[in-house]
Structure 1
Amino acid sequence: MGLILCLETATKNCSVALSENGSVIAFKEITTAGYSHAENLHVFIEDVINQSSKKLSDLDAIAVSKGPGSYTGLRIGVSAAKGLCYALNIALISLETLDILAQQVKEKSIIIPMLDARRMEVYSAVYNTDKKRIRDTQAQILDENSFSQQLSEGKITFIGDGVEKFEAICDHDNATFITDALPSAKDMAVLAEIKHKKNDTEDVAYFEPYYLKDFKVG
């Protein structure tokens, strides 16, 4: 069991949550087009600590969204997480950004989270109905044939800020589109607690965000 500070800065959403034993006890986030994470992140950390009546020294670990996503956003979040881990001498937990985003889907279906990259490019992964990843994260160029096999086999929920561009070229009856969702720190709590219990942590000195650069068609 642990008290974990969760940081999500991979997209336009600057999001901070404090979780205790896998449940969120304090939370704050803001979505801005201008990526104001550098100004907001440390203020939000202080705010959620104050909301909870806890102290930074009470923390057992820091969990950070490791990517893929915005280069600048990821650097800000990871730098803050590593700094806190060094200062407090506590563990660093990393979570894949698409794993976090997939947690928002409540329906029982295949889940394909998508984060916008540029033009027709997205970062995507595939999850089964239990939210277990069955295809790892890829940098992908979308076309009208993308995910055709999965769509022929059953219902799929596409979620994230990269979904709108796929919705424009996909009219399959098995596709459901959630276009206004971004990864949030409140969805990190359970995932972070699982890793904390397993002592699945990162080397603070050498940990770097997860960047994807090679895009594949389809």
Structure 2
Amino acid sequence: MSTFILSLETSSPICSVALHRDGMLVGQSELRLEKSHSSHLSVMVSQLLENTNHTLADVAAVTVSDGPGSYTGLRIGAAAAKGFCYASDIQLLAISTLRALAHQVATTTAHAHEYLYCPMLDARRMEVYSALYTHTGEEVVAPAPLVLDSATLSEQLTRRRVLFFGSGAAKFQPLVAEQPHAAFLLGIEPSAIAIGELAYEAYQRQEFQDVAYYEPFYLKEVYTTTPKA
């Protein structure tokens, strides 16, 4: 029997959904509209399922982008995924946003084994959320918040070619302009397609989340303030 997995990517300003069958893409939709996640995510899922002639009853699991990324976006994605799972009594999966970005790039890069892959998500000022992976997805440097300077990842750059990408990569590029092992790929954004591809592997390993207690991987503490008014 085929395994259908619905994937949600809400960690960035792009709201993205995808449906996979046994790891193969069936359909996808994305909306590049700021602050659209809360009002459009459920509609996008409904339209995707309708356009592919499926319903939630066909879906074995819902996968959410686990973070790091936008606090608000991650919370919206987690809440929606939990709602779908509760409503249809199906499994919940969570895939690292950074690992999915690395997978997305590595699978479309020529001579992929020659590089290490460094996704960078903008965390404002000169800070990024980042990690380092091989072309097979093996973690070399664990996800962490990094303050960028010319010495960032210098140890790795002396030994291997490193491909940098994601919303935070552009501000790192001038800092390592003289580093021959640093390469940059701009315009790469998180996608539910990559989330769904990794989700099928996670589903086979039964790496399910507790629907009641799952929380996204924010990487940094969430700070809230009391309104002055």
TM-score scaled by length of structure 2: 0.90
**What is the match of residue 189 of structure 1?**
196
Mark the runs of 5 or more structure 2 residues left unpaired by the alignment: 222-229
State whether residues 2 and 196 of structure 1, in contact with CA within 8 Å, keep that contact through their aligned partners in structure 2.
no
Partner secondary structure for residue 103 of structure 1: helix
Separation in 2, partners of 1:162, 1:196? 30
Shift of 1:178: 1.6
Kindly provide the amino acid, as one letter, of the partner of residue 82 in structure 2: K
Q: Is the 8 A contact 1:110 1:156 kept in 2?
A: yes
The one-letter amino acid of 2:68's match is P
Say if 2:120 and 2:168, in contact at 8 Å, map to a contact too.
yes
Counterpart position of 1:125: 131
Establish whether residue 8 from structure 1 lines up as the match of residue 18 from structure 2. no
The CA deviation at 1:30 is 1.7
**Is the aligned partner of 1:67 residue 2:62?**
no
Deviation at 1:31, TM superposition (A): 1.9
- The residue that corresponds to 2:168 in the other structure is 162
Shift of 1:159: 1.0
Contact map agreement 1:114 1:158 (CA 8 A) in 2: yes
**Worse-matched range after superposition: 3-12 or 128-137:** 128-137
Q: What amino acid is the match of 2:162?
A: I
**AA in 1 matched with 2:84:** L
Shift of 1:173: 1.5
**Residue of 203, 206, 212 corresponding to 2:213:** 206
Whole-angstrom CA distance in 1 between matches of 2:215 and 2:74: 9
Residue 149 of structure 1 is aligned with which of 150, 155, 168?
155
Deviations 1:51-91 (A, max 9, x none): 21011111100000011100100011000000000000000
SS at match of 1:104: helix
Instruction: Give, in angstroms, the shift of residue 136 of structure 1.
Output: 1.2
Unpaired segments of 5 or more residues in structure 1?
none
For residues 28 and 186 of structure 1, what CA distance do their matches in structure 2 show? 9
**Residue pair 2:103, 2:135 contacting (<8 A) in 1 also:** no
Pair 1:94-2:101 in alignment: no
Q: Is the partner of 1:129 in helix, strand or coil?
A: coil
State which drifts further: 173-182 or 194-203.
Answer: 173-182
TM-score by length of 1: 0.94
String of CA shifts for 1:76-130, please: whole Å, max 9, x gaps: 1000000000000000000011011112223311000000001000000000132
Identity over aligned pairs, percent: 41
Residue 173 (structure 1) aligns with: 180
Deviation at 1:179, TM superposition (A): 2.4
Aligned amino acid, residue 206 of structure 1:
Y
Tell me, in whole angstroms, the C-alpha distance in 1 between the residues paired with 2:190 and 2:132: 16
Aligned twin of 2:119: 113
Q: Amino acid of the residue matched to residue 17 of structure 1?
A: A
Alignment counterpart, residue 134 of structure 1, candidates 140, 158, 171: 140
RMSD, aligned α-carbons: 1.2
Code of the aligned partner of 1:128: T
Q: Secondary structure at the match of 1:169?
A: helix
Q: 2:67·2:96 contact (CA, 8 Å) conserved in 1? A: yes
Tell me how far 1:153 sits from its aligned partner. Answer: 0.8
1:14 positional shift: 0.3
Deviation at 1:190, TM superposition (A): 2.1
In the alignment, the residues of structure 1 paired with residue 42 and residue 220 of structure 2 have an alpha-carbon distance, to the nearest angstrom, of 29
